Amino acid sequence: MARGRRAAPVAPLAQRDGVDPVRIRLPADPDGAWRTVGDHLLERFGGAIGAERVAEMLRQGRFVGTDGPAAPHEPYTAGRYLWFHRDFAAEERVPFEVGVVHRDERLVVADKPHFLATTPRGRHVTETALARLRRDLGLPELQPAHRLDRLTAGLALFVVRSGDRGAYQTLFRDRLVRKEYEAVAPYDPEVALPVTVRSRIEKERGVPAAREVAGEPNSESRIELLEHRDGIGRYRLVPATGRTHQLRVHMNSLGLPILNDPLYPVVRTDEPLRDRDYSRPLQLLARALEFTDPLTGREHRFESRLRLAAW
């Protein structure tokens, strides 16, 4: 029987502003290109961080192993683990709070507001639901079980103990979580509802909007009209799959683009405002999560306390 890879040691650096340090493992060096730790780190991060900044971080002892800070002239050792904190760029605070719908010894179910990322990614690091909850609730091990799109508000499930995370992630991977969304979009009496939309959605890296293409469907959404008035409708959306922007793409394909969507049907060109025009939140809400707890067998149903402003 093959032996599994040995687990990484515990990070010697504490979180900063609710964000974990970056962990790296020094790779094998068959050509002997890296005589010292500094040689490798300058090559590895010089392009992204800048060679001068990497050298300064080394002088400051900011690359830390289990035996203390790594000196730039230490001999290179493949397999060694190091940790460091990136420099956080100043981030504009998203002016909405994260609500806590449920909390126990295993789970935190949060109401994520519009415009707040779920987890650190790209230019959103400290201004994320995960970092805020870790700080506000004093739960440094908190981990997301799934990810909710930054422009979508509503329920996001977090796991209190990192060792439990895999069990809850598996629920989402195996589609054992029933998710209900609510949206406000134009009302068109010519669109026959309810309907199940199936299509193939592809999202190219670096391209803001996803698109439907010919081929075997990889996405499925159930769309129902709940009520309508004054030319707009309130819709229940039940996804069976979880492709990027799936619900937004499927509503748009029906000729019912969700109100205030900056990507569908047309990508807004005023990019500085597109993602943070706080007066025009995307009218899409993760309304409910329903599942059987994989560790306790308990049946859970959680409902958001948020409401869509356009309704």
Tens digit of each residue's pLDDT (9 = 90 or more) over 265-307: 999 876 555 566 899 999 999 999 999 999 999 999 999 999 9
What is d(CA 198, CA 98) in angstroms, rounded to the nearest whole number? 33
What is d(CA 124, CA 121) in angstroms, rounded to the nearest whole number? 5
Q: What is the pLDDT of residue 274?
A: 55
Last residue of a domain, one of 174, 190, 212: 174
Q: What is the pLDDT of residue 4?
A: 52
* 5 within a domain of the structure (yes/no): no
If asked whether residues 98 and 196 sit together in one domain, one would say: no
The pLDDT tens digits for 149-183 are 999 999 999 999 989 999 999 999 999 999 999 99
Give yes or no for a cis peptide into 113 (omega within 30° of 0): no
* 306 within a domain of the structure (yes/no): no
Q: What is the pLDDT of residue 42?
A: 96
Average pLDDT over residues 21-40: 94
What is d(CA 126, CA 15) in angstroms, rounded to the nearest whole number? 11
Q: What is the pLDDT of residue 123?
A: 82
If asked whether residues 27 and 119 sit together in one domain, one would say: no
* 55 within a domain of the structure (yes/no): yes
Catalytic choice (17, 104, 111, 149): 149
State how many domains the chain has.
3
The pLDDT tens digits for 84-143 are 998 888 889 999 999 999 999 999 999 999 999 999 887 888 899 999 999 999 999 999
Query: Is 261 part of the annotated catalytic residue set?
Result: no
- Assess whether pLDDT exceeds 70 at residue 3: no
Task: Give the pairing of strands 284-292 and 153-159.
Answer: parallel
Last residue of a domain, one of 174, 190, 218: 174
If asked whether residues 141 and 46 sit together in one domain, one would say: no
* 144 within a domain of the structure (yes/no): yes
If asked whether residues 198 and 284 sit together in one domain, one would say: yes
The pLDDT tens digits for 228-254 are 999 999 999 999 999 999 999 999 999
- Assess whether pLDDT exceeds 70 at residue 62: yes
Residue 20, both tokens: 């974990």
If asked whether residues 212 and 272 sit together in one domain, one would say: yes
Report pTM.
0.87
* 189 within a domain of the structure (yes/no): yes
Residue range of the domain that includes 99 = 90-174
Q: What is the pLDDT of residue 70?
A: 96
Q: What is the pLDDT of residue 121?
A: 81
Residue 206: give its domain's CATH number: 3.30.2350.10
If asked whether residues 197 and 272 sit together in one domain, one would say: yes
If asked whether residues 134 and 206 sit together in one domain, one would say: no
* 14 within a domain of the structure (yes/no): no
- Assess whether pLDDT exceeds 60 at residue 223: yes
If asked whether residues 206 and 168 sit together in one domain, one would say: no
Last residue of a domain, one of 135, 156, 174: 174
If asked whether residues 73 and 95 sit together in one domain, one would say: no
If asked whether residues 279 and 210 sit together in one domain, one would say: yes
If asked whether residues 213 and 157 sit together in one domain, one would say: no
For residue 1, name the pLDDT band (cuts at 50, 70, 90). Answer: very low
- Assess whether pLDDT exceeds 90 at residue 225: yes
* 300 within a domain of the structure (yes/no): no
* 159 within a domain of the structure (yes/no): yes
